[in-house]
Structure 1
């Protein structure tokens, strides 16, 4: 799954994330619907579009683009989409263009044709790797941090986000959050089984999410409930073995890994040796 696709899902399921990113009150998300928009009779498609739910000329339209790779034409494409939309729909309210880059290096090099727009209040550029740490204090922004951080940091951030999710009182919202978070974690740790993810994050409720159900439907879930106890035990053992290379990446010693996973030092050493052979 592409990282920009995860962001568009974030915006659709938790519009508050977008408004926190652009430093607007999160309550404004209640007044908007997020969707993609196909511009009629053209090859353009607006991937991220926040439109007010009610006709209210005081609330701007938000056109957003998320870039996790270099694209020299990203500004040309975005502004073309915006002005074609304005021409076709003639809206009564103001508009804003929001471009979210993973890093400044993904921004086009030739800015001259768009300079006046980029420097106007119409356009906001966000570089995720330059956001100050104080911006990552809410649950929404912690989920953003989970999406953009590297794998080693994701272990710690994932646990923090899940702890915050436990505090959400509304059951439906909490399960929606778990579905979203487990999707991000499965993207970050695509080489791990469900059992390994449960072992890593202590996420018993993972069994209730769409992610777990999809794994069951595709026949990828190990240690099935209907299996024998021996099979379940083997699944748990394999889950621990899968965690060893990740814990090594985090700088843990063999002794500490063994203690953390309730394995012997010999088992950890053998797993490392088997991995190096493969």
Structure 2
């Protein structure tokens, strides 16, 4: 049971990545690869600030700010320099590797002897259950904030930019600015996942973000499949399903390991699982 509880905790930590991918890919139709770098950036900033005994709220603000800058840079390169969004993300992600390594100063930083959000805030005595409660509150607040943002006039303009950029530009909305802000928000959310997972696992690692975009993408695809199947149009339900998608994704990986699949094959299993999710709607439509 603890094995699946750990997967649930990781799934909640990855909710930020799922929300970030949802904003960049499903709202703005931008394949943002900055995710790999901004996730690590969030973990690196968290780790180094914990070793300097900074307050938790200061670390949280710094992580959001750092992730936001990374996303904004991708947006600026894409909109102002007219570079393909995928290439812009790759450029920023590549640059962030050096930035992260410079900040961390080493390849791995253990944090077991430092106070994290999970060992300084104690609602109950059981460690895993306490972490679950903390993450539940954190992710719930995050979901409410994103849902509220997307329901405001600004959020509607963001969504309209992705749906019909020429139309919303004709109405006087600066679509370049919307994309920059949207990517900044998406990567700030991704950095928050790095902030959470670093404290949960007790270390920051320079390679922790490699391939992490597939986790967010898989989570969003799971949610999108359910959304299309149930024909859901509510923003709130969509966000809840995106969060649930992150948990389901981790549960599938946990089940894979639990039945005895070699851990070395986990990335392969992840890729196949995402491929099945992506291809299932097409296969179903072909049969019908």
Q: TM-score over 0.5 for the alignment?
A: no
Comparing both structures, which one devotes a greater share of its residues to helix? Answer: 2
Structure of greater relative contact order (alpha carbons < 8 Å, 6+ residues apart): 2
- TM-score by length of structure 1 reads 0.24
Quick check: which has more Rg, 1 or 2?
A: 1
